[in-house]
A = this chain, B = another copy of it.
Amino acid sequence: MTMTEIDFSAGLFGKLRAGAGQIWESYVDHEFVRILGTGELPEACFRRFLVQDYLFLKHFARAYGLAVYKSQTVSDIRAANAALQGILQEVPLHVTYCASWGLSEAQMQYEPEANATITYTRYVNDIGNSGDLLDLLVALMPCVAGYAEIGQRLLAAPTTRIEGNPYGSWIENYKGEEYHEMVAASLCKFEDIGQRYGGETRLARLQEIFTTASRLEADFWQMGMDADPRRKTGA
């Protein structure tokens, strides 16, 4: 399977993605991502993003721990656990990658969390605790599937450069077969849980969660952008 085979417009996920409309676009087509593709992203912005993404991963792992707790079947536990494993395996890769940017793990660990990092991760965890497994997954999907869509777009965009682009290897992360399969499996599990948990009859609330989480993802990119004083919008 290749990434272009993943259909982001199908099923419950497709419905929520369409319902997020302009907010979804503002996330997956954020200026940060666009100029990362062309290579024009100021380095300060990328470094800011890398550090906060490291801090983000810890809370993302915690959220999948919560998904394990909230599961009712061994199959759902295994799916949440697979995601958790994926994240824990990503941390050392992330650390290695950051090292190549001159960022040591020790530095990142004690870097204060940006508000944008707190806002998104704690919003997800509060949804997870106050709602059920479906609510929690809806809050997580903009991250899981959104990054895949961003990767797909970047790899397909005529303006994207890989060679000579300092962020080229980051973009190429989104090419791997294994990654595609993980995203496809997540979407598949999401549709299954969506059906079992009555997703269709809970659309209004699920849309509210999905749209908010998508907006907080866009704010996460913006936090990266704001590291460049010339680009700071102050939003």
Contact = CB atoms under 8 A, between A and B. Distances in A.
Interface in A51-94: 58, 61-72, 74, 77-78, 80-81, 84-85, 88, 91
Contact of A69 (B65, B91, B119, B199): B65
A205 interface: yes
B78 A81 contact: no
Contacts of A132: 130-132, 135
Q: How many copies does the complex hold?
A: 4
A15 interface: no
Nearest to A82: B88
Contacts of A135: 132
Interface stretch (A28-36, A121-129, A171-179): A121-129
Contacts of A125: 69, 122, 125-126, 129-130
Contacts of A118: 119, 122-123, 216
Interface string A167-202: 000000000000000000000000000001111111
Interface string A195-216: 0111111100100000000001
B85 A81 contact: yes
B74 A58 contact: yes
Interface of A: 58, 61-72, 74, 77-78, 80-81, 84-85, 88, 91, 115-116, 118-119, 121-123, 125-126, 129-133, 135, 196-202, 205, 216, 219, 226, 232-235
7 contacts: A61-B68, A81-B84, A81-B88, A115-B116, A115-B119, A131-B132, A198-B200
Given A69-B130, A118-B216, 11 more contacts: A65-B66, A69-B125, A70-B130, A81-B85, A84-B84, A115-B119, A115-B216, A121-B126, A125-B129, A125-B130, A130-B133
